[in-house]
A and B are shown apart, each in its own frame.
Chain A
Amino acid sequence: MHFLTVSGPPSSGKTSVILRVIEALQAKQQKIGVVKYDCLMTEDDLRYAKKGVLVKKGLSGSQCPDHYFVSNIEACVKWGVENDCDFLISESAGLCNRCSPHIKDITAVCVIDNLSGINTPRKIGPMLKSADIVVITKGDIVSQAEREVFASRVKQVNPGAVIMNINGITGQGAFELTTLFEEASDIETLKGMRLRFSMPSALCSYCLGETRIGDEYQTGNVRKMES
């Protein structure tokens, strides 16, 4: 089973891009599964189901979303294999810009959009910087030159990645992206694999439900701003 992790800031167009790629894969009689990770709610599972895709939804709720991801992804891969999927795509939003669901030796895709601002590529951490493929969306809204400047900023922080412009609405570029999906890592299990980068460390009193503000309530891994 080909497995890929797709991540990107909220509303960057991840689901639209994945749906376009899925259409092209389905035309080749491929069976697709998608795992959608989100925090509070998502209706994207309905969009996938409508396309006849096998879909699993995971809401992290009060837990750190990327911790939730890593605690569940192995079982999801097992689920994809058991259901004879040809492709399994995991979709998650990178919420704090310091996390990343990318796994070593598993094709990693990051989706960001042209409207997010010229400094955004610098502000996103391992999710963008360690991705194998960077998909830039919403290029139809800006000029050619602005698209190029944005792409060069992405290239600066992730020079090794394949950078592609995709229009999630018309699907322009999706066919070309599909050829890269077909080259994605072929696996049976994630057992023994590692994340590409560590998650931010935490475990302080607030992780455990503390809500009061004040030095006396702060225990565990606490860091203070330099004064």
Chain B
Amino acid sequence: MNYQDLLLQPLKQLLADYPWLEDFFSSFGLQLPVTEQPLHQYLDRLDPDQLLDLGISQEQLQQSLHDFMAGMLALDEAAEKVESLTIIGGFDKTGTAEQLELTLRPGEVICIVGPTGSGKSRLLADIEWVAQGDTPTRRKILINNSVPDNKWRFSTEHKLVAQLSQNMNFVMDLTAEEFVRMHAESRLVPDPEEKVVRILEQANQLAGEQFKPDTPVTSLSGGQSRALMIADMAILSKSPIVLIDEIENAGIDRKKALELLVKQEKIILMATHDPILALMGDKRLVIKNGGIAKIIASSDAERKNLSRLEELDNTLLALRNRIRFGETLEEL
């Protein structure tokens, strides 16, 4: 339905078809009456003094409604399928060319390694911005072998990249269930209730310690928050590319977390120095002095060592649990 048709619809029908319209109007301090009155008539008859008190003009309200509807209807459109992401090298901080063209495909996990300040975040930012030689590194990013539409840069509906950052704090005063519901609703996913249940269930499988749907998000532990955010991203995010800035060790099954994301057929780029995660990746990009200095493909010998590393990790995890339950470590 286009905007002009929408204006002719009775409010009652609109509220039934697009329940989020109610939320839109209430965010401006207005309440839509459930009547047979067509939308255009309701808008035209709004009291100018009331609108002035609410800090908006008739014209601005109409414009906002138009933009909002356009955005909401766009959410339903199928996102463009991303078959490949290509990074075309730019220059490092000293002006040396990176000389690489690297193509990544859904299901691949690429690790990014390098010391703090080496330029890992800039690489992640170049991808998020779909750089076209117009960032300080002058890298170029292609999607499906071509220069993507500029809309990717500013769209909040069709984000190319979902970023899972290091910080997992919450400041909102909501329970885990309320929070996930609010997030699901803001993304207009079909059947948000079912998604909420799945996200909480999945998060509890990843977290070392269980939490309940009515646990306030502000009292989740670091591991629980991380588990919740990973499950949330895997189930809610439509973005075909996931950028992860470290999945820390604290209280979460990292392997399962990564598998959950890979299963969604996304391209995963992960900044990490964790040997287990690094070896689970297909390739490692080594960042030095602002540029990609080397690409290391995980070797068979490395992969063999992965099981040994996992044993070591499990041993440490078992020790952590013994400490947690008040045991001593006099004998290992």
A interface residues, Cβ below 8 angstroms from B: 98, 114-115, 117-118, 121-122, 125-126, 129-130, 139-146, 148-149, 151-153, 155-160, 162-164, 170, 172-173, 175-176, 179, 197-198
Contact = CB atoms under 8 A, between A and B. Distances in A.
B167 A141 contact: yes
Interface string B55-67: 1110010011001
A5 B67 CA distance: 22
Contact of A145 (B71, B156, B232): B232
Contacts of B183: 145, 148-149
Contacts of A164: 154
A160 B68 CA distance: 7
A145 B229 contact: yes
A152 B186 contact: yes
Nearest to A138: B171
* Majority secondary structure of chain B interface residues (helix, strand, loop or mixed): helix
Q: Considering residues A145, A162, A197, which has the most beta carbons from chain B within 10 angstroms of its beta carbon?
A: A145
A143 B227 CA distance: 12
B179 interface: yes
Contact of B136 (A117, A139, A175): A175
Nearest to B166: A140
B225 A143 contact: yes
A178 to B, nearest CB: 10
A143 B28 contact: no
B41 to A, nearest CB: 22
Contacts, number: 109
A155 B170 contact: no
Contacts of B55: 98, 125-126, 129, 197
13 contacts: A121-B27, A141-B167, A143-B167, A145-B183, A146-B171, A153-B27, A155-B68, A157-B28, A159-B71, A160-B67, A163-B154, A170-B121, A197-B57
A136 B20 CA distance: 23
Given A122-B27, A148-B183, A176-B129, A159 B68 contact: yes
B56 A145 contact: no
A142 B56 contact: no
B54 to A, nearest CB: 8
A152 B23 CA distance: 12
Interface string B264-294: 0000000000000000000000000000000
B229 A144 contact: yes
Contacts of A141: 167, 169, 171
Contacts of A158: 64
Interface string B153-194: 110100000111101111110000001101100110000000
Nearest to A143: B168
B60 A144 contact: no
Q: Considering residues A122, A142, A159, which has the most beta carbons from chain B within 10 angstroms of its beta carbon?
A: A159
Given A125-B55, A144-B164, A156 B135 contact: no
A61 B306 CA distance: 66
A175 B135 contact: yes
Given A129-B56, A163-B156, A156 B68 contact: yes
A140 B154 contact: no
A198 B170 CA distance: 36
Nearest to A154: B156
Nearest 9 Cβ contacts at the A-B interface: A125-B55, A152-B186, A159-B67, A159-B68, A160-B67, A143-B168, A162-B154, A156-B27, A122-B27
Given A143-B168, A172-B125, A129 B64 contact: yes
A165 to B, nearest CB: 9
B52 interface: yes
Contacts of A122: 27-29
Contacts of A118: 172
Contacts of A129: 28, 55-56, 60, 64
Contacts of A125: 54-56
Interface string B125-168: 10001000011100000000000000001101000001111011
Given A144-B165, A144-B229, A176-B153, A149 B172 contact: yes
A144 B162 contact: yes
Nearest to A130: B60
A84 B1 CA distance: 50
B47 to A, nearest CB: 15
A151 to B, nearest CB: 6
Q: Considering residues A146, A160, A175, which has the most beta carbons from chain B within 10 angstroms of its beta carbon?
A: A146
B24 interface: yes
B160 to A, nearest CB: 14
A70 B136 CA distance: 37
A46 B55 CA distance: 34
B233 interface: yes
Contact of A126 (B29, B56, B68, B162): B56
A148 B57 CA distance: 28
B68 A149 contact: no
A199 B274 CA distance: 55
